[in-house]
Amino acid sequence: MKKPKKTTRGTDETFLKLMTISGSSVLKLLGVPAETADQYEFRAVTLKEKRIEPDVEGIPILKSEQGPVFIEFQAYWDPFIRYRLAAAVFHGCAQQKYKSRAIAGIIYTDSQYKTAALSLSTALGEGENCLATDCIKEIVLTDYTEEKLLSADPKLIVLAPFTLPTETDKALVLEKSKEWCHQVGQVFDCSQQQEALDILGLFVLNRFRKFKYEEVIAMLNFDLMETVAGQQLHDMGHEKGLLESVREDVLEILEERFGIVPNDMNQQIRAISQREYLKQLLKQAIRCPDLDRFNEMLLKAVSPPKQ
């Protein structure tokens, strides 16, 4: 089974932005008491040596018994997310000489990403002496309703797109987005509202892939290209458009030269996501003497290389 490809770091950048303007809200979602959550400031972290990289680390503002916080925002398929987070916690505490208890959390944007994550007990074993039992706080946003999300903290409205199914009708997403924008204006300070709208817009794009970049700009009335993650998502959309164009060229040439293209061949061509493979197939569609010869080249493109 082919593993889904990891996407860009667009959501990671957006999540960091959320943590810097309202990290305490996310901690409350993870079950941290409000009086404790307000005592942290957040930053992106790249740990030295082994390059173990949690998305965000929280450091207590004042000296107290509270330890550091390590959080991952998981918006793609990665079976080793728990392993990487656990390694980041141990490495970070050792590097900074933290001796208090740390808080580790993963926020999944969809239940499939939690299902894909390997349990720490897979590597460490199970039993009452296992240190890996229930040591990571985990949240799956698709398990939440908007009301339940906001009950933790009203500023979590920017995560509301993940409470709707990806196949939600465009008209409803448009209606809900206007409501979310209005709520952002109510719960965030004036100095934070633009950043909160940026975050909301980027999460809408991440959740509802059928929306075009221009539609979200019109919907939320701001320009996502002013954000790093917005530029990444725009580039992804541009690349997707280029790939689809090459696929259509391959199929049109085959139909023109050989007539009807078999359905299974059509599906295989549309499943190819590497531009270089598609460019090679385009050349073969022009050069191959018959459809059988082209199919041989196609099978080489879609078959995994032998070990």
Q: What is the pLDDT of residues 30-70, one digit of tens each?
A: 988 888 888 887 766 554 443 445 555 555 444 445 678 88
**Domain-embedded: residue 139:** yes
What is the per-residue pLDDT for 189? 92
pLDDT for position 3: 43
State the burial class of residue 206 (Cβ atoms within 10 Å of its Cβ: 0-12, 13-18, 19+). buried
**Cα–Cα distance, 132 to 121 (Å, whole number):** 6
Are 135 and 4 found together in one domain? yes
The arithmetic mean of pLDDT across residues 3-18, rounded, is 60
Give the total number of structural domains in the chain: 2
User: Roughly what angle, to the nearest 10 degrees, separates helices 10-29 and 190-207?
Assistant: 110
Residues 3 and 125 in one domain: yes
Least confident of 151-160, 208-217, 265-274, 280-289: 208-217
Q: Say what the pLDDT of residue 224 is.
A: 47
What percent of the chain clears pLDDT 70, i.e. is strictly above it? 72
Q: Is the pLDDT of residue 167 over 60?
A: yes
Residue 226 lies in a domain: no
Say whether both 1 and 137 belong to one domain.
yes
Q: What is the mean pLDDT of residues 265-276?
A: 82
100 within a domain of the structure (yes/no): yes
Domain range enclosing 70: 1-143
Residues 201-210 have a mean pLDDT of 84
Pairing of strands 40-43, 56-60: antiparallel
Residue 221 has a pLDDT of 56
Q: Is residue 216 part of a domain?
A: no
Average of pLDDT values for 188-213?
A: 84
Contact 247, 266 (CB under 8 A): no
Has residue 177 been placed in a domain?
A: no
- Does 246 share its domain with 138? no
Would residue 206 count as lying in a domain?
A: no
**Co-location of 247 and 137 in the same domain:** no
Query: Do residue 133 and residue 1 come from a single domain?
Result: yes
| 132 and 251 co-located in one domain | no
Contacts of 259 (CB under 8 A, 6+ apart): none
Highest-pLDDT range among 47-61, 68-82, 206-220 = 68-82
Give the angle subtended at the CA of 44 by the CAs of 42 and 45, to the nearest 5°: 115
266: in domain: yes
Residue 209: what pLDDT? Answer: 77
Alpha-carbon span 229 to 143, nearest angstrom = 25
What does pTM read for this prediction?
Answer: 0.65
Which of 143, 172, 196 terminates a domain? The answer is 143
In a domain, 54, yes or no: yes
138 and 6 in a common domain:
yes
Residue 11's pLDDT band, with cuts at 50, 70 and 90, is low
